[in-house]
Structure 1
Amino acid sequence: MMKWKQVWRKVSNYVRHDLKEIAFPSSLPDPPHLKPRRKLTWPEWFEVLKKASRLYVESWKRDISDDIDVLEGRAPPPKTGNGSKTENGTRDREPSTLEDVAVAARGGMETLRPVLQRIYMTRATAYKDALKNFIEGYQEGIAETMASKESLKSPIHEEGRNSTKDEKKGDNPEK
């Protein structure tokens, strides 16, 4: 009878403490320098939810990066007129990569695949060009270093070295 009590106690302790930690691990404590944020009140929470949902709905209609910059306290980026004017006087601009991906994602996998391939090819080309430029610069640096070492070994420098060595030895023929 005593063994059953011990077994039951060990199993119940395992389930109560260890198994709970295995199934639902507790998170690590916050670092000491982190100050906990206060909990939002219901009206504040509702206001945040309202702003987030408004921005989300507007994001499907247009680019909201300027609004986000203003909300975060940053100055909006300057407008550049790099596009050509259309008939109604507005400027036509090239869509960004993020906009391309967003439009393609709405169309499904068939439209998303070519956009992602174009992005990967563009990045691969940029990486290849950067690596090629690095190798060329590295080779130029090695060539300059080798040229400077060769110029130090020129006959003029060799004569100067030999004459100073001879003078130090005391083999001066004029004496």
Structure 2
Amino acid sequence: MKVKVVYRKLRDYVRYDLKEIAFPSSLPDPPHFKKRRKLTWKERYLVMKEATRLYAASWVRDIGPELRPNEYKKKENTGDQPDGATGSNGETEPSTLEDLAVAARGGMETLRPALQRVYMTRASAYRDALKSFIKGYQEGIQEVMEKKNNPDPLQENDDPKKST
């Protein structure tokens, strides 16, 4: 082969094939897919500015209404009604995460009972869900068996093979 041909083939391999091997292109979009227009530099700046603000605000411990306004509206509307987590004196009970954090500060002696409570709660929830599933499954099987044992007489007359 000539040097020119070898050079061209090598250049085409690096230019097309190697690029596809290293960075494979994705599948083409489906026909119904409408591509979005590219953002302008100003729009990109505004998006980055908002994302940075939300990211910085997420680092505070108490997330305020600017990040989750819908949740705060619900709490304001139901503020006069007692919650399930509120005690008789109006104080809220600590969440599981807060309980574990306090127990972790206390050392292994206080962390073990807290973790056991979490595991027992999860195990009981799993057991209850499994019992509910089994009950529903058995009811479904029972319905199918009843339909099989007591066929509807109207369905037999509609079958053209049995009428002959």
TM-score (norm 2): 0.50
**In 2, are the aligned partners of 1:85 and 1:92 still within 8 Å (CA)?**
no
Aligned to 1:58: 57
**What is the CA distance between 1:145 and its match in structure 2?**
6.9
Tell me how far 1:20 sits from its aligned partner.
1.3
- 2:116, 2:2 → 1: CA distance? 67
Q: Does residue 1:33 correspond to 2:29, yes or no?
A: no
Deviation at 1:130, TM superposition (A): 1.5
**Which one has a bigger Cα radius of gyration?**
1
In structure 1, list runs of 5 or more residues that go unmatched.
108-113, 153-175
Alignment of 1:104-123 (within 5 A): 123=122
- Tell me which amino acid in the other structure corresponds to 1:41: W
1:10-44 deviation digits (Å, cap 9, x = unpaired): 222211110011112234444443241341333x4
Change (3 A) 1:122 1:27: farther
**CA 1:149–1:41 in structure 2 vs 1: closer, same or farther (change >3 Å)?**
closer
Letter in 2 for 1:6: V
Cα distance, 1:149 vs structure 2: 8.2
After TM superposition, the structure 1 stretch with the greater mean CA deviation from structure 2, 23-32 or 136-145, is: 136-145
Q: Residue 16 of structure 1 aligns with which residue?
A: 15
Aligned to 2:74: 78
Aligned length: 132
Judged with a 3 Å threshold, the aligned counterparts in structure 2 of structure 1 residues 100 and 63 are, in CA distance, closer, same or farther, namely farther
CA distance, structure 2, for counterparts of residue 11 and residue 116 of structure 1? 63
What are the Cα deviations for residues 85-142 of structure 1, in whole angstroms up to 9, with x where unaligned?
87xx8x5354376x889x79xx9xxxxxx99998777555433321222213433555
Aligned mates of 2:115, 2:37 — CA distance in 1: 39
Q: What is the rounded CA distance, in whole Å, between the counterparts of 2:25 and 2:46 in structure 1?
A: 31
* Aligned-residue RMSD, C-alpha: 4.5
Equivalent residue number for residue 164 of structure 1: none
Q: Please say if residues 84 and 92 of structure 1, whose CA atoms lie closer than 8 Å, have aligned partners that are also in contact.
A: yes
Please give the secondary structure, in 2, of the residue aligned with 1:67.
coil
Name the structure 2 match of 1:49: 48
Q: Secondary structure of 2:95's match?
A: coil
C-alpha distance in 2, partners of 1:59/1:35? 32
Single out whichever of 14-23 and 116-125 deviates more from structure 2.
Answer: 116-125
